[in-house]
């Protein structure tokens, strides 16, 4: 988007992600593509500090491993160094977490918001919320993978993180 130039200039200190940046949304902040991304392309790596329990912004990477930024830093530095903390949930997202990497699920246009499905990494959300993503199969209430119905869990089998695969319902085939 043409009007993103000034916000990029304001956050050029620190380590800016070449693929995405944090911008305001109607309801808060989110992560937006800085350039067109191809399906399967790496967007960013989820790097931070390991914490034993989930927080509002952490991402779960294993059963007892959540990644957060607990260092006291300013808001601009937080957006530049830890953009993944600003990712918004969508029930039919355009990106997925693979290992420690956020990967484009499909082609993402420059300026498009990047989203992922929290229930593919989070077993139990620290702060459940009502989703208004508007997807045809929106969950409504997002509480984590373990709160999904067996049908909703099966629908996520392809994208769910390895630490949640053991909780997938047995196939009836």
Q: Are 33 and 112 in contact (CB under 8 A)?
A: yes
Q: How far apart are CA 10 and CA 120, in angstroms?
A: 33
> Which one of residues 133, 147, 155, 168 is an interface residue with Zn ion (CB under 5 A)?
133
Q: Closest approach of Cβ 69 to Zn ion, in Å? A: 26
Q: Closest approach of Cβ 138 to Zn ion, in Å? A: 3
What is the distance, to the nearest Å, from the Cα of residue 163 to the centroid of all Cα atoms in its chain?
Answer: 16
Residues 55 to 94: which contact Zn ion by CB under 5 A? 91
Would residue 140 be called left, alpha or beta, if left means φ above 0 and alpha means ψ between -120 and 50 degrees? left
- Decide whether 92 or 110 has the Cβ nearer to Zn ion: 92
Q: Is 131 in the site for Zn ion (CB under 5 A)?
A: yes
Rg, C-alpha atoms of the chain:
16
Q: Is 21 in the site for Zn ion (CB under 5 A)?
A: no
- Decide whether 41 or 128 has the Cβ nearer to Zn ion: 128
Q: Are 48 and 55 in contact (CB under 8 A)?
A: no
Q: Which stretch binds Zn ion (CB under 5 A): 4-12, 42-50, 127-135, 155-163?
A: 127-135
């Amino acid at each position: 988007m043409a009007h993103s130039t000034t916000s990029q200039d304001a956050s050029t200190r620190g380590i800016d992600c070449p693929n995405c940046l944090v911008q305001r949304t109607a309801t808060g902040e989110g992560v937006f593509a800085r350039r067109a991304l191809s399906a399967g392309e790496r967007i960013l790596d989820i790097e931070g500090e390991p914490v034993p329990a989930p927080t509002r912004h952490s991402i779960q990477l294993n059963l007892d491993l959540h990644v957060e930024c607990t260092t006291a830093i300013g808001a601009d530095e937080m957006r530049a160094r830890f953009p993944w903390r600003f990712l918004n949930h969508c029930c039919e997202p355009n990106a997925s977490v693979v290992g420690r990497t956020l990967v484009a699920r499909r082609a993402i246009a420059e300026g498009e918001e990047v989203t992922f499905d929290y229930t593919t990494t989070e077993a139990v959300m620290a702060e459940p919320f009502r989703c208004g993503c508007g997807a045809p199969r929106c969950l409504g209430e997002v509480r984590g993978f373990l709160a999904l119905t067996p049908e909703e869990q099966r629908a996520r089998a392809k994208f769910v993180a390895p630490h949640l695969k053991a909780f997938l319902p047995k196939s009836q085939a």
